[in-house]
């Protein structure tokens, strides 16, 4: 079997066109959606992500502001900026690029963001809403994966899904969204004992581990749907995921490549969340 390659770039483009159309409708109503992107320090990966987010804003007609702060910025200074952005009327969404320098508490900074402007959906209030299923903002990467399932007509209901990884950013919310769509979910992590057995008996696998070629061909069953969230660099410095693509694509029914799979979807979902924030803050339903 040769897998259908899930095209995250094409799906993203389609969704971004929809966001642009809605942003244009909003602007006819006199509302301009705005996103503030905050970056502290000069981590090159963070800089690339921030640049891509700004580019996506321009593509979707979203106004964006960048706040690039030096590495030695204090926690108080960053909190003061968040406070200012919380009150800024032309800003509907606030994104603080993680990771932050070690001397700044990420938890404190996330907690300081007004939950109505928390377009990353990391604030505990939004995390709680994801648990109950009554959410405004979906966490961007898991939401991007769900959008890919929808685009490719992959019905997760009643399926056995394994999520590898239990981070607050990917693994846990991913599991929750699959559960909301009636999948039977197993969350695997570094202490999981019978991981190969679990993966082999899964219809859907979402890998969010952060290790090159973690998921091998002999760990998946024929016809399995494989989503690779990982973003790693191999020995040659090339971007790669958590899945041994060469081996797994021979057995899977659907597979996401890296790059060009989940990555572009994450930023696209951030655009959708910013649009949603602007609508909610202006009591507009489009
Ligand atoms: P993370 O916080 O480091 O979490 C990694 C998870 O993998 C942990 O839960 C860990 O288990 C688990 N793990 C590690 N070794 C394992 C093993 N041998 N067997 C089973 N589970 C194991 O990473 P993250 O933030 O979730 O990110 C995961 C990957 O996704 C990274 O490559 C990251 O760059 C990428 N990512 C991509 C996007 C995107 O837009 N595509 C967005 C976010 C992240 P323990 O909890 O037991 O330690």
To the nearest 10°, report the CA torsion of 248, 251, 257, 261.
-120
Residue-level pLDDT at 286 = 85
Q: What is the CA radius of gyration of the chain?
A: 19
What is the CA(207)–ligand 1 centre distance, in A?
A: 8
One DSSP character per residue, 158-222 reads T-EEEEE---TTTHHHHHHHHHHTT-EEEEE-TT-SSHHHHHHT-SEEEE-S--TT-B-GGGS-T
Task: Please check the confidence at residue 234 and state whether its pLDDT lies above 90.
Answer: yes
Pocket of ligand 1 contains residue 199 by CB under 6 Å: no
Residue-level pLDDT at 175 = 98
* Fold (CATH) for 140-263: Rossmann fold (3.40.50)
Residue-level pLDDT at 61 = 98
Q: Give the model confidence (pLDDT) of 191-231 as tens digits.
A: 999 999 999 999 999 999 999 999 999 999 999 999 999 99
Task: Please check the confidence at residue 96 and state whether its pLDDT lies above 80.
Answer: yes
Query: What Cα–Cα distance (Å) separates residue 150 from each residue in 125, 144, 153, 189?
Result: 27, 10, 5, 26
Query: What Cα–Cα distance (Å) separates residue 229 from each residue in 75, 172, 264?
Result: 30, 13, 11
Task: Please check the confidence at residue 39 and state whether its pLDDT lies above 80.
Answer: yes
pLDDT, averaged across the chain:
97
Asked if the bond preceding 143 is cis, omega within 30° of 0, the reply is: no
Q: Which neighbouring-strand residues pair with 162? A: 186, 205
Q: Give the model confidence (pLDDT) of 156-175 as tens digits.
A: 999 999 999 999 999 999 99
Pocket of ligand 1 contains residue 156 by CB under 6 Å: no
For residues 121-144, average pLDDT = 96
Task: Please check the confidence at residue 235 and state whether its pLDDT lies above 80.
Answer: yes
CATH number assigned to the domain with residue range 30-115, chosen from the 4 options 3.40.50.10860, 3.30.300.10, 1.10.510.10, 3.40.1190.20: 3.40.50.10860
Q: Give the model confidence (pLDDT) of 255-279 as tens digits.
A: 999 999 999 999 999 999 999 999 9
Helix, strand, coil percentages in the chain from 3-state DSSP, rounded to 5: 45, 15, 40
- Confirm whether pTM is higher than 0.85: yes
- The atom number, within ligand 1, closest to the CA of 242 reads 32
Nearest CA to ligand 1 atom 8: 165
CB 162 within 8 A of CB 204: yes
For residues 68-87, average pLDDT = 98
CATH 3.40.50.720 residue ranges of the chain are: 140-263
Give the three-class secondary structure for 35: strand
Residue-level pLDDT at 2 = 85
Buried b / exposed e over 110-131, threshold 16 CB at 10 Å, is bbbbbbbbbbbbbbeebbebbe
* 213: Cα separation from own chain's centroid: 21
Q: Which of 44, 190, 192, 263 to mutate to test the pocket of ligand 1 (most atoms within 8 A of CB)?
A: 190
């Amino acid at each position: 079997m040769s897998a259908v390659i899930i095209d995250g770039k094409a799906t993203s483009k389609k969704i971004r066109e929809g966001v642009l159309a809605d942003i244009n409708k909003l602007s006819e109503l006199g509302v301009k959606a705005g996103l503030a992107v905050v970056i502290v320090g000069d981590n090159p990966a963070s800089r690339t992500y921030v640049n891509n987010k700004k580019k996506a804003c321009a593509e979707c007609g979203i106004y964006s502001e960048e706040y690039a702060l030096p590495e030695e910025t204090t926690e108080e200074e960053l909190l003061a900026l968040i406070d200012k952005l919380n009150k800024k009327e032309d800003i509907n969404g606030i994104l603080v690029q993680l990771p932050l320098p070690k001397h700044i508490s990420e938890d404190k900074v996330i907690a300081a963001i007004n939950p109505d402007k928390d377009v990353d959906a990391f604030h505990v209030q939004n995390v709680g809403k994801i648990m109950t299923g009554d959410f405004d903002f979906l966490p961007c990467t898991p939401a991007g994966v769900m959008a890919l399932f929808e685009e490719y007509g992959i019905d997760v209901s009643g399926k056995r899904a394994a999520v590898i990884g239990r981070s607050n950013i990917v693994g846990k919310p991913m599991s929750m969204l699959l559960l909301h769509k009636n999948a039977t979910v197993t969350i695997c992590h570094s202490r999981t004992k019978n991981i190969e057995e679990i993966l082999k008996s899964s219809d859907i696998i979402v890998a969010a581990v952060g290790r090159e070629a973690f998921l091998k061909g002999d760990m998946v069953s024929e016809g399995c749907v494989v989503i690779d969230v990982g973003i790693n660099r191999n020995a040659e410095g090339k971007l790669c995921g958590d899945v041994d693509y060469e081996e797994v694509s021979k057995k899977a029914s659907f597979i996401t490549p890296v790059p060009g799979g989940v990555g572009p979807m994450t930023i696209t979902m951030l655009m959708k969340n910013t649009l949603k924030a602007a609508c909610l803050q202006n009591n507009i339903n489009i």
